Amino acid sequence: MRILVLGDLMGRAGREAAIKNIPELRVKLKLDFVGVNAENASHGFGLGPDMADALFAAGTDVITLGNHSWDRREIIPYIAREKRLLRPLNYPAGTPGQGAALVTLADGRKVLLAQAMGRLYMEPLDCPFRATEEVLSRHKLGVTTHAILLDIHAEATSEKMAYAHAFDGRVSGVTGTHTHVPTADQQILPGGTAFQADLGMCGDYDSVIGMQKEPATGRFIRKMPGDKLTPAEGPATLCGAFIETDDSTGLARRIEPVRLGGRLSQAMPVL
């Protein structure tokens, strides 16, 4: 199975880059499944229902959110009915939406994508390890589903690495989101799980993690609130990872970076 996972869509630049490129990448890379993190798609804060619809129409199979899940209040009734839009699964019981989605592809194969949010330097949610364990108790790789993907939305690289090792051999891939900087640690862990600590953002990298440089830089210099943070809208780099799995086991055969457009060095898997 060929899978593409994209990092945080940052504002209009990232959103439009994803909508433009996903249809072409589905053909070029012969993709079976596309997962996208879109918690920053709406002016850097949250996701609007119309934006989710556009991403699904472009060929996204499942969208994940994160700590900005509820910044757009209109998403609450939408996420309650749209099973392909996920918020972190370790939110407290009773939170709208769900943290995992099992998708059946056109050829009958099944893919599970689940998202957890880290707790180090983040909100004090329920334990992401225990919450993920509960999901995996109901889904067995290579038995009930052909691929299992985990999105760990977290600040600390150490927490992301620990999370990946905790589930190595039981899932196809663990990829991190949230920090907006792509890491160069793509690897297949000893148990056969693909891993990358952070996919990076899809957005304008002539910025401070996607925000316009001057207001963001001023906050560090003056150490007090300044101008409103606004997403940079220059040419975007689409950032993510390509994962290929073995259908018989569900484990990863390869993981490679995807970087397309914008300022960063380009990277594209060769089939």
Q: Taking the CB of residue 264, how many other CB atoms lie within 10 A of it?
A: 15
Q: What tokens does 195 get?
A: 């891993």
Radius of gyration of the chain (CA): 17
Would you call 68 a catalytic residue per the annotation? yes
Alpha carbon dihedral 88, 207, 11, 79, in 10-degree steps, equals 10
Active-site residue, selected from the candidate residues 68, 146, 178, 180: 68
Q: Tell me if 182 sits within 8 A of 199, measured CB to CB.
A: yes
Q: Which residue has the tokens 């108790």?
A: 137
List C-alpha distances in Å: 229 to 190, 223, 267.
42, 14, 30
Residue type, 26: R
- φ and ψ of 85, to 5 deg: -105, 120
Provide the annotated active-site residues.
Answer: 68
